[in-house]
Amino acid sequence: MLTERDKKEIEQQVLRLEDERTKAVLAGDAATLERLMSDDIVYTHSSARIDTKKSFIASITSGTVKYRRIHRRDIAVSVREGFAFLTGGIEIDVETGGSVRPLVLRYSNVWEATPKGWQQVLWQTTPIPPK
């Protein structure tokens, strides 16, 4: 059973890893993403397109997709035995096909404690409709 102190430590650790993952996405850092993403991650974009670990990393290292800006806000973390669940808002400027699209989304992000350390196992985004 996790104590409140354990949960707080895991929350801080996972938030640090999420910051590291965000920087890696912006930089196209395949080595960091290889380490932080589970081999069987389910990565669902706001367009409903699904990527595997391999296809997501390939899209950003090839330049097919370039993340220009990522700003997370209103982050909530819930820790359970072996898992951390992050939810919040996110603003992303992403370049595809030569044009940059600003996206305003809600996200769900799940990390799992594995023998390799904490790894991202799920990413899901949903567009926030304009007001």
Q: Does pLDDT of 130 surpass 90? A: no
pLDDT of residue 91: 97
Contact between 53 and 37 (Cβ < 8 Å): yes
Domain tally, the chain: 1
pLDDT digits (tens, 9 = 90+) for 106-124: 999 999 999 999 999 999 9
pLDDT of residue 3: 94
Contact between 22 and 105 (Cβ < 8 Å): no
CATH of the domain at 111: 3.10.450.50
More confident residue, 1 or 93: 93
pLDDT digits (tens, 9 = 90+) for 7-63: 999 999 999 999 999 999 999 999 999 999 999 999 999 999 999 999 999 999 999
pLDDT digits (tens, 9 = 90+) for 79-90: 999 999 999 999
More confident residue, 64 or 131: 64
- The residue segments making up the domain with residue 105 are 4-127
In whole angstroms, give the CA distance from residue 106 to residue 118: 22
pLDDT of residue 52: 97
